[in-house]
Each structure stands twice: as structure tokens, then as C-alpha cells.
A and B are shown apart, each in its own frame.
Chain A
Amino acid sequence: MNVLGIETSCDETAAAVVTASGEVLSSIVASQLKLHAPYGGIVPEIASRQHLRDLPRTASEAMRRAGMEWRDIQGVAATCGPGLMGALMIGLSWAKAAAWARALPFIGVNHLEGHLAAVELNQAPLPRPFVGLVASGGHTSLYLVAAGQPAHYSLLASTRDDAVGEAFDKVAKLLGLSYPGGPAIERIAGKREPDKIKFPQPRMKDGSLAFSYSGLKTAVRYLVDKARQRGEKIDSAEVAAAFQQAVIKDLIHKSLKAVKQHDARALALTGGVAANRFLRQTLAAEAEKISLPFYCPPIEWCTDNAAMIALAGARRLSLGERSAWDLPAVPNLQL
């Protein structure tokens, strides 16, 4: 079964053709990063305008690279949430119309289920149950993925305030670094000693796995403000290194705690923040210490893409699941 996947939930216009077993035949992503960079964050109306402009050629390119005609496609999947309302609406409208016109089965896909499916693109399925950490600009969530048709997802923890990628963006702004903040902080932190400054570890009083990064962000702001009042120059690289370490330590601590609590047989890392090399490497090393199978997809499938949507959709379509033609976009869709 070849499934065409469409993703327009945020600032990437993406289309891909994937088989139900997870083989990626094509995956095209038109990134809007440069368009939003001058604003220091994603501007929803600019994103929507660009999606509409980029989607037709992104979709045809995905078909062409896969060497497919429409008659070779057996199903269509599109992200229906969570994400930006206006942005979601474009991919969803396009995909529903295309599937309807070709009398193809259609399914709306939860973007987070897509991120969790990404770890199994071009890859043997992970042993179940596994813990999946989705870390991105919009999400910081831990899921337990249990065996089942379709897989059974339990949300173990999510963020109480800022998503981790958002925290990186805000701290980068405080330090006068460019958008997006993740790569900027990673770059400037480099190999700097991260222990010169001690930031509080963002732990929940109730011992829960929930994430919270606003306290850490406030600590950075306090540091920057205090230095400014004293007329001192802050060492941005030092602050970046300490902040990055505090965040990553927290992500790792909670991921491993979740694995232990639920007797998980593997750990997966996905989402745009997985592009952080320090996070990938440290998490891999910590997992190895306890002989826990760890998997993180290539960066192109960690960040938003349509291959993951196509796979998550293909799995549901092959079980006979269908979405109705009146399926709405749901900006705060839960998994």
C-alpha cells in the first residue's frame, strides 16, 4: 500500500509517499524557516500564505521522486492537528479533495502520532512497549507506545508551560542570539564548560514526570538583568552551555524514569529538538549504560515531515480506518 502523506501543521510544507511497512519512497519538505526568522518566531498568517503557495509543487515533487502516478497511490493521509488552525486547514483541504476526487481512502493523522511513527521509518519496528520522547518547538511529551493494532499511546508527561524548543528560542533571544534558538544555543555553547553556572533543575514538587521550562527561562533572564544592572558583560556562551545542560539533564532524567516506571523495552527520541547533538549523544550514552535499546531517526525525520504522517496514516488505513470528508482541523488535538 502506497500512501501519500501531507503535513502543513506549522512552518514546513511537506509531502511524502511511504508504504504501509514504513519504506520511504519520497519525502519533500519546503521549509519556511527563513521567512519567519526576521520575526523571531513563527507568524501564523505568513505560514498559511506560504503553505498555499508551496503545497502544489511539494506534492507533485513527492509523487515524481517516488516514481508514482495517482493510480499507484492507495491512500491519502494528512495532519489534522495539533498545530496552527489556518496552516492545518490548507493541507487538510488539499488532501481531502485529492482523495475524494480519486475515490481513495483518506485518514486524518495526529501530528504527535506521526512523530512517534517517525522512529520506524525505513527501520524495523521497535520492541514494545517503548517510551517515546517528542521534543520540539511545540511539544515536550513522553508517551508509552504499547503493542496493539493500532498501537496504543499513553501520555506519560507533557509540558506545563513552554515547549522545550520554545524555551531554547526565548533564552536565545535573551542572550541576543538568532532564531531559531536551538541551533544558535548549541553552536555558541560548543564545548564550553557547562558547570560554571548552576541553574535549578526543573523538577516537579509532586515528583511527576511533567516538564516545565519557564522557571529556567526566568533564571536566565534574572542573570542577564542582574549583569546589565551592574554594568557587567555576561558570557553568553557560558550561560548557553549551562542552560542547555540543565534542559538536557531534565529530559534525560525524566525519559529514563519513565522507562523504569513502565518497564519499557526501548527508548525513542524524536521532534525537532532531537537535532541537538548533545541531547542525542548523551541520551544514547545513558541508555547504553543500562543496556536499553535507543533509537533516534535521522534529523530530516525528527523535524516536521510528511513521511511520518504517511506512515502513521498507512497503518490506520490498512486496518480499515477512514476519516469522513467533513473531518475538521483541530489545533489542540490530543494523543
Chain B
Amino acid sequence: MILGLDTSSARLSLALWEQGRILEEHAQFSDRRHNEIILPALESLLFKINRVPRDISGIVVGLGPGSFTGVRVGIATAQGLGQSMGIPVAGVSSFLAVAAGSRSNTALVIADARQKMLYAAFYRKKEYGWETVMPETLISIPDLVKQLPATAVNVTGPGAQEFFEALFRARGGELHLLPQERHWPGAGELAPLGEERILAGGMSWEDIMPLYLRRTQAEEVRARRKAEQGGA
């Protein structure tokens, strides 16, 4: 039984997956409190289907992009569970999980990256699975619009509701907003996306890191200062 876990958005998502289906799942909006509700939620999830922690044979965790602290809470939880039980852990893009749950043929997944920037990725459905047309990127709305194909694009992701209008104005049409309940990374989609990796023995801890997509502000400032000094 695989545990799927995503804490990259304001909505915590947990799912237990076995033999090609979701046994039980739980989602809860808990802005900044994922660390507090994750284990009680997991406990009641297992209780509902009469299972115990050691029935979990692998963990697939969402790597974001999203809230840095949020993603780290999910990964640290997966590390603690994985290490103490000696079971494999794999990380998967939370945006890919959104695309997989979009029920459409294309998915532009966006989230707020603050400072007038978005996290964005663009996926296209293939016969099996999804093609990543544009991988997770930190991008401004005008730049994102330039990257999109001429055909109609379905917009989803944790930032879709908030930024759709601005995006629509910038592009001048050919955008559809998917229903809001499909905007959030779902653990039920994450688990099958990481299943193959789990069966192959999981990923190394160094590879299960958040998709930060940007340096820390301190690093940015320092790099800028260095560049200025170099240019002067």
C-alpha cells in the first residue's frame, strides 16, 4: 500500500493507494498548519480502512512548486516515515499531479510565486501519461503568455482562480479555467505517478528535495551585488 502526500498548497492531501486504486483519501485546507494535522489525518485514514502504519510499503511525496515551508513539511514527514520504517520514498512534481487530475487534454498549472511572478508548467496528455511541454518554471505573466501554444489552453493549479483573469487579459482569449475542485495537487494522483519509482526501490534523500525554482532572497541580493561590483 502506497501513501501519497502533498503539502505544497493550502490544501493538505493524503491518499492510500493499492493495486491500481485509491483505498481512501483525505483533503483539508489548513493554511500553514500542515505540520499539525498531517499525522492525526493519516491516523484516521488508516483507521477507516482498518490498516496500521506498517502496512505502508512506500511513500510518494509532492515536491511542489509551492510554499517552501509547506513542501518541506511534507518531505520531512516522508523522510521520517520512510527512514523509521525502512521503506522507499519517491518525490513527484505536485504540478504533474494537478495535470493528472485535470480530466483534460492540456493543463497549464500555475501557482502564486509572489513578487509578481508565477510558478507554471504546461502538460499535454499522451496515450499513456503526460508529456511535459514546459517544465516547472518561475515566470512572469507576460513571459508565460509568450510561451503558450496558439491553441486553446486549460488553466488549473492552486493559483488558477486568482490569476486567470490577468492571464486572460494578457493573452486576449483562448484560455479556459478548469473547475476549482481540480486546482489542487491530489495525493490520489501523486501515488500512481511515483509508483514505478517506489517499486524500483525509491529515490535517494538528496533527490527528494523541493522544486524551489528560485534562490533565497539573500542569495539573490548577494549575486546582484557581486554582478554590480564586477560590472563597475
Residues on A lying within 8 angstroms of B by beta carbon are 38-39, 43, 45-46, 48-49, 52-53, 55-57, 59-60, 70, 85-86, 89-103, 325-329
Cβ contact within 8 Å between B83 and A102: no
Compute how far the CA of A180 lies from the CA of B40 in the bound complex, rounded to whole angstroms. 41
Cβ contact within 8 Å between A101 and B69: no
Q: Which of B33, B73, B80, B210 has the most CB of A within 10 A?
A: B80
Cβ contact within 8 Å between A45 and B35: no
| A59 interface neighbour in B33, B54, B81, B83, Cβ under 8 Å | B83
Distance (Å) between the CB of B113 and the closest chain A CB?
14
Q: Which of B33, B53, B69, B84 has the most CB of A within 10 A?
A: B84
| B72 interface neighbour in A43, A90, A97, Cβ under 8 Å | A90
Where chain B touches its partner, the secondary structure class is helix
| A48 interface neighbour in B54, B56, B72, Cβ under 8 Å | B72
Residues on B lying within 8 angstroms of A by beta carbon are 33, 35-40, 42-43, 53-54, 56, 68-69, 72-73, 75-81, 83-86, 205-206, 209-210, 212, 216-219, 222
Distance (Å) between the CB of A272 and the closest chain B CB?
22
Cβ contact within 8 Å between B216 and A46: yes
| A residues near B75, Cβ cutoff 8 Å | 52
User: Are A70 and B84 also in contact (CB < 8 A) when A45-B217, A329-B35 are?
Assistant: yes
* 18 A-B interface contacts by CB (under 8 A): A43-B218, A45-B217, A46-B218, A52-B79, A52-B210, A56-B205, A70-B84, A70-B86, A89-B72, A90-B76, A91-B76, A93-B77, A94-B77, A94-B79, A97-B81, A101-B85, A325-B39, A327-B36
Cβ contact within 8 Å between A93 and B76: yes
Closest A residue to B42 by beta carbon equals: A100
Distance (Å) between the CB of A52 and the closest chain B CB?
5
Distance (Å) between the CB of A170 and the closest chain B CB?
18
Compute how far the CA of A96 lies from the CA of B68 in the bound complex, rounded to whole angstroms. 20
Closest B residue to A60 by beta carbon equals: B83
Cβ contact within 8 Å between B35 and A328: yes
Cβ contact within 8 Å between B80 and A98: yes
| B residues near A92, Cβ cutoff 8 Å | 35
User: Are A101 and B84 also in contact (CB < 8 A) when A53-B206, A325-B43, A326-B36 are?
Assistant: yes
Closest A residue to B54 by beta carbon equals: A101
| B residues near A103, Cβ cutoff 8 Å | 53
Where chain A touches its partner, the secondary structure class is helix
Cβ contact within 8 Å between A325 and B40: yes
The 3 closest A-B CB pairs, nearest first, are A97-B80, A98-B84, A325-B39
| A residues near B73, Cβ cutoff 8 Å | 89-90, 93
Compute how far the CA of A45 lies from the CA of B217 in the bound complex, rounded to whole angstroms. 8
Compute how far the CA of A45 lies from the CA of B75 in the bound complex, rounded to whole angstroms. 16
Cβ contact within 8 Å between A38 and B81: no
Closest A residue to B89 by beta carbon equals: A56
| A102 interface neighbour in B37, B42, B79, B84, Cβ under 8 Å | B84
| A residues near B35, Cβ cutoff 8 Å | 89, 92-93, 328-329
| B residues near A98, Cβ cutoff 8 Å | 80-81, 83-84
Compute how far the CA of A98 lies from the CA of B80 in the bound complex, rounded to whole angstroms. 4
Distance (Å) between the CB of A94 and the closest chain B CB?
4
Q: Which of B35, B38, B42, B206 has the most CB of A within 10 A?
A: B35
Closest A residue to B80 by beta carbon equals: A97
| A residues near B218, Cβ cutoff 8 Å | 39, 43, 45-46
Apart from A325-B40, A328-B33, 11 more pairs, CB < 8 Å: A48-B69, A56-B79, A91-B76, A93-B73, A93-B76, A96-B77, A97-B38, A97-B80, A100-B39, A101-B54, A327-B36
| B residues near A55, Cβ cutoff 8 Å | 76, 79
| B residues near A93, Cβ cutoff 8 Å | 35, 38, 72-73, 76-77, 80
Cβ contact within 8 Å between A49 and B85: no
Cβ contact within 8 Å between B212 and A49: yes
| B80 interface neighbour in A38, A49, A94, Cβ under 8 Å | A94
| A residues near B79, Cβ cutoff 8 Å | 52, 55-56, 94, 97
Compute how far the CA of A92 lies from the CA of B209 in the bound complex, rounded to whole angstroms. 17
| A residues near B85, Cβ cutoff 8 Å | 101-102
Distance (Å) between the CB of B170 and the closest chain A CB?
30
Closest B residue to A43 by beta carbon equals: B218
Compute how far the CA of A325 lies from the CA of B205 in the bound complex, rounded to whole angstroms. 24
| A residues near B54, Cβ cutoff 8 Å | 101
Cβ contact within 8 Å between A43 and B39: no
Q: Which of B77, B212, B222 has the most CB of A within 10 A?
A: B77
Cβ contact within 8 Å between A46 and B206: no
| B residues near A102, Cβ cutoff 8 Å | 84-85
Compute how far the CA of A326 lies from the CA of B36 in the bound complex, rounded to whole angstroms. 4
| B residues near A38, Cβ cutoff 8 Å | 222
| A residues near B43, Cβ cutoff 8 Å | 100, 325
User: Are A95 and B39 also in contact (CB < 8 A) when A39-B222, A56-B205 are?
Assistant: no
Cβ contact within 8 Å between A96 and B80: yes
